[in-house]
Chain A
Amino acid sequence: MKLTVWTYEGPPHVGAMRVATAMKGLHYVLHAPQGDTYADLLFTMIERRNHRPPVTYTTFEGRDLGADTAGIFKKTCQDAYDRFKPQALIVGASCTAELIQDDPGGLAETMDIPVPVVALELPSYQRKENFGTDETFYQLVKALARPVEKTPEVTANLIGPLALGFRHRDDIEEVKGLLYEMGIGINVVAPFDATPHDLTRLGAAHVNVLMYPEHAETAARHMERTLGIPYTKTVPIGVGATHDFVAEVARLCGVEPKTDLTRLRQPWWSKSVDSTYLTGKRVFVFGDATHVKAAARIARDEMGFEVIGLGCYNREFARDIRALGKEFGLEPLITDDYLEVEKAIEDAAPEMILGTQMERHIGKRLGIPCAVISAPVHVQDFPARYSPQMGWEGANVIFDTWIHPLVMGLEEHLLAMFREDFEFHDAAGPSHHGGHAPKPVAEATTPAPVEEPAVAETPSETGSDVMVWLADAERELKKIPFFVRGKARRNTEKFAAERGVREISVDTLYEAKAHFAR
């Protein structure tokens, strides 16, 4: 057993639902107890879909367990086929049904269903949602895709985008645009909006664009092996990655790497002097491996940030993230325990977090700005407006999104200059955000010079020796802008501990500052 508070990923059958819901003409019959239908609302509410997910649940109850749950499955399967008349069915078990050991695949095989029925084996007690997406799509491709004649013109399949994907809808448009500029047409986009019939035509493409390795890498490998279609290894998120992607596609297809950069504004925005204050901003990056890899590169090479921590929650890609960690000189965090992530962020004291919905909450709690770069996300990250992450427009979107939560340049200077200002004290927070109404004047102005004990009562928690901050040092520390104060405190204590200094004075503080100055 493992005590879990919040999870980054759902169970694998939710992954299968994401594939089924993304497609048309496919129906999923899920052997599951009452209550598992909760997952429907992820699609109808978070993604705001205007139809029910194409999933029928057997809804067995306690009293059915001793009796005929297999019979219930067969009846549900037949009814679902009769009602929805899909081009293909997928059948499988949720975690509870896995325990009662009915075999949905075997049961469906004994029935007379005139369309392909694909059985899913999703080990609920070992694997998670992303495995479910990848495995489901692979099984569908394996069952349906056959060698067919290539299209006369150069075409690509876009594989990986699916339901509940972070910005998948708009990434598709952006990648289509990139390919169009090179004269490459689209054969099939899958699973997003594809039908089972479309999957039978996958083999006609010249290249597979693997948009999201988490969701389609197994299928991409399978198609490379059985259909001879090469697939792209670069995910075009960020300007550099998009250039690499264009070059890779051009090479695989034997076409000119043509690009239209007229809409790309990110590089100039980042070069403009207004962005100078972004230099060396210390960021912590966490999310799914694909988006973390992309974000780390953008942060370092295209925004001028310093990446001080990175990690991912999907263990399937731990190796990639370890390699990335090596490149950045960091020990990566591979965990699905959000309390561990919170701890790591607290320790690193970054100026900004790039993460998921969970990190947004961690940031809120710690008072650190955060931008969302990866699933899981909430409803506000399925926006009505066009907002891809991939390609040129994606780079523009990312620049705006990441900059927005930060205190702006001039504001940052003024905060340092007038740090005792009653409207501009550190607890006021960024002025362009709500929820930071200035505190009442009495509280915010410099405290009256009352009699203070010579020693502040904040013994440090670091080290075995109790370390104390002298009152004037503590006061000086408070003058440092709040977003770097945690780091300053930690550095000073580290500096003091290394020198066996047990009382921190103003001098210790500035000696430490000089020591750590870059």
Chain B
Amino acid sequence: MNRPVNLPAATCRDTPVLKERGQREVFCGLTGIIWLHRKMQDAFFLVVGSRTCAHLLQSAAGVMIFAEPRFGTAILEEGDLAGLADANDELDREVGRLLSRRPDIKQLFLVGSCPSEVIKLDLARAAERLTQMHAPHVRVLNYSGSGIETTFTQGEDACLASMVPVLPETSARELLLVGALPDVVEDQAVDLLTKMGIGPIRVLPAHRSAEAPGVGANTVFACLQPFLGDTAAALERRGARMIQAPFPFGEEGTTLWLRAIADEFGVDDATFEAVTAAPRARARTAIANASAALRGKTIFFMPDSQLEIPLARFLTRECGMEAIEIGQPYIHKGLVGPDLDLIPAGPVISEGQDVDKQLDRVRAARPDLTVCGLGLANPLEAEGLTTKWAIELVFTPVHFYDQAGDLAGLFSRPVRRRDLLKLEAAE
């Protein structure tokens, strides 16, 4: 009863994808550290890279300067490159120093970067060696957040995927929710599912390594984010099974996501209705209020986080917008297929980027709203185009019913501001 009744005849699932290569205006996967280190409270993220990597983290983290942040960069120096110093010895020394200064650290991630990948520093071996050296107190894992391999949110995917092989084995039938969400949103999701009688519910990543979920053949999991392809594959290799659904953005997305899990756990319609009726109504009201300025407006997504397809689905179906182009850094149809199914054919679906050519398309289309990164937003505003900077969509609570109005609000605010400001006289 909660399934969409009027699926359009042709959907974006069938639209041929425009694949482009060229200059990309995106973050690398190292950026994921900025939210992951807040979520995993006993983890430290040690990037092995260059001054550029350290500068990137600091620029992206902005004013988040802590007395002792739980991330840092082991900056490669001339000697490391010339083979003058054994990189492994150097790394062991720096890690030893770090762990003696921070005895509260239980998980250490060695994060690969472009320089460490190019000189083929074997961080996987280093992680194994360091795990043995610092067992049982600290476990050392490794993943790559390099720009040559990962784009922005893919850093989280690589990080979570690196944790999957060392999760404890379990034969319990448990629901695993995958993806780092703000605590308030995670609690809402768990609460809704618990009220339907679904459980036990575990989350990946957990707050602390001691709370790490188990995984096994009876585990079913649902992704909270569309960029978790590698993590999903790693979980499937452990025997777990994925519940496919559109992502929980907006009233419809949240309902379909919950419904897919409810079906898996045999929840009857009456229970589902009883649990979701009130928050659904709240979400619809909030969206209607917040999206008034968006109705009939056109939107253009530049690639950034892989959230673009589910967000375009929400904005076109629940806020009355028209998508011109939905750019993604990478399209994993196994994850975003259900969302693509819900978007009527029409918009250009693009993967990858040649930024100058894409900007030509933006200028030709003159969309009412362009979703893009911070390097492009002000230049486009100066050309008279209204923009919504995309990173906020990753950092702000936007999932599930009670954030649906806020999500619409993030897109309507720049449009409303444009109408409010009367600056022409001054220009």
| A residues with CB within 8 A of B | 1-7, 9-11, 13-14, 33-42, 44-45, 48-53, 56-62, 64-65, 76, 79, 83, 94-96, 99-100, 123-126, 128, 358, 361, 365, 378
Residue of A42, A79, A99, A128 near B59 (CB, 8 A) is A42
B382 and A62 form a contact (CB under 8 A): no
A44 and B378 form a contact (CB under 8 A): yes
- Residues in chain B near residue A94, CB distance under 8 A: 52
A96 and B114 form a contact (CB under 8 A): yes
Nearest CB of chain B from residue A104's CB, rounded to whole Å = 15
Q: Taking CB as reference atom, which chain B residue is nearest A47?
A: B378
With A4-B54, A45-B378, A125-B50 known, 13 other A-B pairs at CB within 8 A are: A1-B85, A3-B94, A3-B98, A6-B58, A34-B28, A36-B52, A36-B147, A44-B374, A50-B379, A58-B23, A95-B50, A96-B115, A96-B147
**8 Å CB interface, B66-105 against A:** 67-69, 72-78, 80-81, 85, 87, 90-91, 93-94, 97-98
5 contacts between A and B (CB under 8 A): A4-B72, A5-B72, A37-B375, A79-B356, A96-B118
Nearest CB of chain B from residue A62's CB, rounded to whole Å = 4
Q: Is B65 an interface residue (CB 8 A)?
A: yes
Nearest CB of chain A from residue B361's CB, rounded to whole Å = 15
A6 and B23 form a contact (CB under 8 A): no
Which 9 A-B pairs rank lowest in CB-CB distance, beginning with the nearest? A35-B28, A35-B147, A40-B375, A50-B382, A96-B114, A95-B50, A10-B55, A34-B147, A41-B374
Given contacts A76-B23, A124-B52, A125-B76, contact A62 B149 (CB under 8 A): yes
Residue of B65, B73, B147 near A361 (CB, 8 A) is B65
Residue of A11, A37, A42, A50 near B50 (CB, 8 A) is A11
Q: Is B27 an interface residue (CB 8 A)?
A: yes
Residue of B78, B146, B375 near A33 (CB, 8 A) is B146
Q: Taking CB as reference atom, which chain A residue is nearest B93?
A: A1
- Residues in chain A near residue B80, CB distance under 8 A: 1, 125
Q: Is B373 an interface residue (CB 8 A)?
A: yes
Given contacts A7-B55, A126-B78, contact A33 B147 (CB under 8 A): yes
A2 and B375 form a contact (CB under 8 A): no
Residue of A6, A50, A100 near B65 (CB, 8 A) is A6
| B residues with CB within 8 A of A | 22-31, 46, 48, 50-52, 54-56, 58-60, 62-63, 65, 67-69, 72-78, 80-81, 85, 87, 90-91, 93-94, 97-98, 114-115, 117-119, 146-149, 151, 356, 373-379, 381-382
- Residues in chain B near residue A5, CB distance under 8 A: 68-69, 72-73
Given contacts A1-B75, A99-B81, contact A7 B147 (CB under 8 A): no
Q: Taking CB as reference atom, which chain B residue is nearest A376?
A: B58
- Residues in chain A near residue B98, CB distance under 8 A: 3
- Of the listed residues B26, B73, B114, the one surrounded by the most CB atoms of chain A closer than 10 A to its CB is B114
A11 and B24 form a contact (CB under 8 A): no
Residue of B52, B76, B118, B147 near A10 (CB, 8 A) is B52
Provide the bound-state CA to CA distance between A59 and B24, in Å.
Answer: 6
Nearest CB of chain B from residue A344's CB, rounded to whole Å = 16
Provide the bound-state CA to CA distance between A192 and B280, in Å.
Answer: 55
Provide the bound-state CA to CA distance between A402 and B114, in Å.
Answer: 42
A50 and B28 form a contact (CB under 8 A): no
- Residues in chain A near residue B149, CB distance under 8 A: 61-62
Provide the bound-state CA to CA distance between A44 and B381, in Å.
Answer: 11
- Residues in chain B near residue A3, CB distance under 8 A: 46, 72-75, 94, 97-98
A96 and B50 form a contact (CB under 8 A): yes
A38 and B118 form a contact (CB under 8 A): no
Provide the bound-state CA to CA distance between A38 and B81, in Å.
Answer: 24
A83 and B91 form a contact (CB under 8 A): no
Nearest CB of chain A from residue B314's CB, rounded to whole Å = 26
- Residues in chain B near residue A64, CB distance under 8 A: 148
- Residues in chain A near residue B377, CB distance under 8 A: 44
Q: Taking CB as reference atom, which chain A residue is nearest B26?
A: A34
